[in-house]
Amino acid sequence: MLEVKNVGLTLKGDEGEVQVLKDVNFTLEDKKIYVMTGPNGGGKSVTAKTIMGIHQPTSGRILLDGVDITHKEIFERARMGIGYAFQQPARFKGIKVRELLEIASGKNASADTCDHLHDVGLCAQDYLDREINASFSGGEVKRIEIATILARDLKLAIFDEPEAGIDLWSMQRLTETFEKMNKKYNTTILIISHQERILDLAAEVIMVAEGTVSEITSREKILGEISRLDSDCRCRRDCSRGGKAIAGCDR
Ligand SMILES: Nc1ncnc2c1ncn2[C@@H]1O[C@H](COP(=O)(O)OP(=O)(O)OP(=O)(O)O)[C@@H](O)[C@H]1O
Ligand SMILES: [Mg+2]
């Protein structure tokens, strides 16, 4: 359903242009759950934002159900059924939880709204009429962001580190929620995560490192092969100018 073909992305950083993605290739099939993982700074969030249209690729193409969406705007992609829950969600001062969920679903708050809050471990009575201001904890903001994605009827839902700030008690419910969303609404789900528990949900694991997809594989293979990264070895080697051997690096 989603094809990412040879995607490259250059962004302007503090010290000029940086190539953050290079030659990214992967395909997501209909109705499956995928987990994207990899080292910090490897390019997972940037890949997700490029699929959502927050960044426009510098090279390559992105197709949704065969339609080229490479140069479509964010709102067009949203209309076509792509949703993205940010790693660090915005706090919408001056708006109530109920209103935010109504904007997301395009409907008046209903029993479904209560279900969506329940699915992220929030009690609707306590939250619906609360304004999303600074008094919300990080975990609460994160859960409400996830609920806005549940409230939409999506073809592809992307969750960026949904576990961040979510307590142990709610993690179980959250994993069940992803499975339910996938089965009930036939939504293809891409979860960016560092958690073994989330990796358990994956039909396939997409490994992103150093700005590209280094591997598409199974959970077992990823967990069996967590070894030292090339970049780590190169950095240590350059810094110590060929000094001591570094465990896990072939010299
Ligand atoms: N707007 C930007 N301008 C310049 N560089 C950026 C920008 N956004 C991200 N980067 C860089 O791109 C690289 C990939 O960032 P990204 O946020 O995708 O990492 P990640 O894989 O999601 O990491 P994490 O696991 O820590 O969330 C990083 O080196 C980051 O500093
Ligand atoms: Mg990230």
CA 211 to ligand 1 center in whole angstroms: 9
Look at residue 218 and tell me whether its pLDDT is greater than 70.
yes
Position in ligand 1 atom list of the atom nearest CA 14: 4
Residue 210 phi, psi (nearest 5): 50, 40
Nearest to 231 by CA among 246, 216, 218: 246
Question: What band does 124 get if pLDDT is binned at 50, 70 and 90?
Answer: very high
How close is the Cα of 161 to the center of ligand 2, in Å?
Answer: 7
Domain CATH code at residue 174:
3.40.50.300
Question: From ligand 1's centre to the CA of 20, what distance in Å?
Answer: 7
In sequence order, what are the beta bridge partners of 89?
A: none
Reference 71, options 86, 50, 47, 85; nearest CA is 50
Spatial contact of 213 and 35, defined as CB atoms under 8 Å apart: no
Q: Measured between alpha carbons, how far apart are the two ends of the chain, in Å?
A: 42
The SS3 of residue 206 is strand
d(CA 45, ligand 1 centre) in Å: 7
Pocket residues: Cβ below 6 A from ligand 1: 11, 13, 18, 20, 40-46, 87
Nearest-angstrom CA–CA distance, 245 and 233: 10
Pick the residue with more confidence: 52 or 169? 52
Q: Specify if 241 maps to a domain.
A: no
Protein residue whose Cα sits closest to atom 17 of ligand 1:
45
* Long-range pairs of 17-22 with CB within 8 A, sequence gap ≥ 24: 19/211, 20/46, 20/211, 21/46, 21/47, 21/50, 21/57, 21/211, 21/212, 22/211, 22/212
Q: Whose CA is nearest to atom 27 of ligand 1?
A: 40
Distance from chain centroid for Cα 226? 21
Q: What pLDDT score does 17 carry? A: 93
Q: Please, which pLDDT band fits residue 138 given cuts at 50, 70 and 90?
A: confident
pLDDT exceeds 60 at position 227: no
- Whole-model pTM: value is 0.87
Ligand 1, atom 4, lies closest to the CA of 13
What is d(CA 66, CA 64) in angstroms, rounded to the nearest whole number? 5
Angle at CA of residue 70, ends 67 and 72, nearest 5°: 85
Residue 250 lies in a domain: no
**What integer is the mean pLDDT of 21-38?**
95
- What pLDDT score was predicted for residue 69? 97
Tell me, what's the pLDDT at 171?
84
Q: Check pLDDT > 80 for residue 14.
A: yes
In a domain, 231, yes or no: no
251 has pLDDT over 70: no
Q: Report the atom number in ligand 1 closest to the C-alpha of 20.
A: 12
| Residue 147 covered by a domain | yes
Establish if 105 belongs to a structural domain: yes
CA of 127 relative to ligand 1 center, distance in Å: 32
Q: What's at 45, amino acid-wise?
A: S
Round the average pLDDT of the chain to a whole number and report it.
Answer: 89
Closest residue CA from atom 8 of ligand 1 = 46
The per-residue pLDDT for 190 is: 97
Residue nearest atom 3 of ligand 1, based on CA coordinates = 13
Identify the residue with better confidence: 41 or 229. Answer: 41
* 90 CA distance to ligand 2 middle (Å): 15
Question: Lowest-pLDDT range, 63-72, 102-111, 230-239?
Answer: 230-239
Q: Averaging pLDDT over each range in 66-80, 88-102, 156-170, which range is the top one? A: 66-80
The tally of domains found in the chain comes to 1
How confident is the model at residue 170, as a pLDDT?
81
Q: Which domain holds residue 180?
A: 2-217
Beta strands in the chain (DSSP E): 2-13, 16-28, 33-37, 59-64, 67-68, 82-85, 156-160, 188-192, 204-209, 212-217
Report if residue 223 sits inside a domain.
no
Question: Does 229 reside within a domain?
Answer: no
Q: Whose CA is nearest to atom 26 of ligand 1?
A: 40
Instruction: Please report the pLDDT score of residue 15 as a whole number.
Output: 83
Per the domain annotation, does 178 fall within a domain? yes
Task: Report which of residues 224 and 121 the model is more confident about.
Answer: 121
